[in-house]
C-alpha cells in the first residue's frame, strides 16, 4: 500500500524540516524525488543520503520565486519523466501584526509562500494535463483558519494557499489532477530551534515547552508525522480525494477552548 513506485515527485524546500521528511519517505516508497532548494549544497547532501538508503533523489538549486528558473527546471525534469506529484512545501515564516509588519517583509513572505507556490503549480500543470493525471499537495497551516497572535503576514499567505488549493482542484479535476493541502499546527523542525535560540536565548527549553503545550495533545508534531499524511494524499489510495484541507494539529483547531 501507498507505493510511489515509478512516480516522479517534486518537493520544494525538500532538504530540511517537513520537506526533508517528505523527500525521504517518498523515496523510500519508490518515487524519484526532485528536491528544489535555495541551499544547493544542503539539497545535494540530503539527496546523496537518500541514494545511500537505496532511494532515488536529485538536487536542484531553485528559488521558487523565480518563475523562469522554476519553469526551466520543471521542463528539464519533464523531458525525461512525467511529473506525477508536486509538493509545495517551501515557505518562510514571519512574526508581527498588521501595524509592525514592514512592507519589505510582507512582500517577501507573499513572494515565497504565495507566488512560489503559484510558480510551481503553473509550471507543472501543463505536464500533468498532457498525462491526464497528477497530484498537487500544498502546505497550508492552522494559522489560515484560526487567529494566532503576531502572525498577520504568515496567516495571510496560508489562507491564500487554501483558496489556491480549492481553485486548482476545481479547474483541473477534468484533467485527472487532484489538489489538496495540509494544515499542520506546530511541528518540531530546525526552524523552531533556531527561532527559540534567536528570540529566547537561555530560555529555549521553557519556551519550547510553552509552545508545545498549545497543542491539546501536549507536544509538537514530528516532521515524519506530516510526511505520512502527505504520502497518503499523494498515493493512488487517495484517488477519491481532491479540494480538501487536512488539519494535522494535535487537536489545536477543535479542542482548544
Cross-sheet strand order for the sheet of 8-12 = 56-61, 32-37, 8-12, 85-88, 134-139, 177-184, 245-248
User: Helix (H, G, I), strand (E, B), or coil: what is residue 87?
Assistant: strand
Which burial class, exposed, middle or buried, applies to 122 when counting CB atoms under 10 A from its CB (0-12, 13-18, 19+)? Answer: middle
In angstroms, the CA 34 to CA 12 distance is 8
Q: Which residue has cell 517551501?
A: 90
Q: What is the CA radius of gyration of the chain?
A: 18
pLDDT of residue 195: 81
List pLDDT tens digits, range 46-61: 999 999 999 999 999 9
The reported pLDDT for the residue numbered 257 is 66
Is 154 assigned a catalytic role?
A: yes
User: Which ranges of the chain have pLDDT less than 70?
Assistant: 257
Query: What integer pLDDT is reported at residue 231 of this predicted model?
Result: 98
Phi, psi of 26 (to 5 degrees): -65, -40
**36: helix, coil or strand?**
strand
The predicted model scores a pTM of 0.96
Catalytic residue chosen out of the listed positions 118, 154, 172, 246 = 154
- Domains of the chain from N-terminus onward: 8-186+223-255 (3.40.50.720)
Given this model, what pLDDT does residue 149 score? 92
Amino acid at each position: 500500500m501507498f507505493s510511489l513506485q515509478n512516480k516522479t515527485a517534486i518537493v520544494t524546500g525538500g532538504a530540511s524540516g517537513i520537506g526533508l521528511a517528505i523527500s525521504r519517505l517518498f523515496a523510500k516508497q519508490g518515487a524519484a524525488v526532485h528536491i528544489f532548494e535555495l541551499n544547493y549544497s544542503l539539497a545535494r547532501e540530503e539527496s546523496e543520503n537518500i541514494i545511500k538508503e537505496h532511494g532515488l533523489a536529485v538536487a536542484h538549486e531553485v528559488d521558487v520565486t523565480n518563475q523562469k528558473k522554476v519553469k526551466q527546471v520543471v521542463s528539464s525534469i519533464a523531458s525525461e519523466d512525467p511529473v506525477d506529484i508536486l509538493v509545495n512545501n517551501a515557505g518562510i515564516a514571519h512574526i508581527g501584526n498588521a501595524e509592525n509588519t514592514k512592507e519589505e517583509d510582507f512582500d517577501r513572505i507573499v513572494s515565497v509562500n504565495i507566488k512560489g507556490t503559484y510558480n510551481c503549480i503553473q509550471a507543472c500543470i501543463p505536464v500533468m494535463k498532457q498525462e491526464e493525471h497528477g497530484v498537487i499537495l500544498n502546505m497550508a497551516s492552522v494559522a489560515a483558519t484560526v487567529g494566532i497572535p503576531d502572525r498577520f503576514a504568515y496567516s495571510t499567505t496560508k489562507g491564500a494557499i487554501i483558496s489556491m488549493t480549492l481553485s486548482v482542484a476545481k479547474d483541473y479535476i477534468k484533467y485527472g489532477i487532484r489538489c489538496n493541502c495540509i494544515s499542520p499546527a506546530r511541528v518540531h523542525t530546525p526552524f523552531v530551534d533556531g527561532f527559540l535560540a534567536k528570540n529566547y536565548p537561555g530560555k529555549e527549553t521553557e519556551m519550547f515547552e510553552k509552545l508545545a503545550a498549545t497543542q491539546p495533545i501536549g507536544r509538537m508534531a514530528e516532521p515524519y508525522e506530516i510526511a505520512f499524511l502527505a504520502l497518503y494524499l499523494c498515493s493512488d489510495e487517495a484517488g477519491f480525494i481532491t479540494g480538501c484541507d487536512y488539519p494535522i494539529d494535535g487537536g489545536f483547531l477543535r479542542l482548544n477552548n
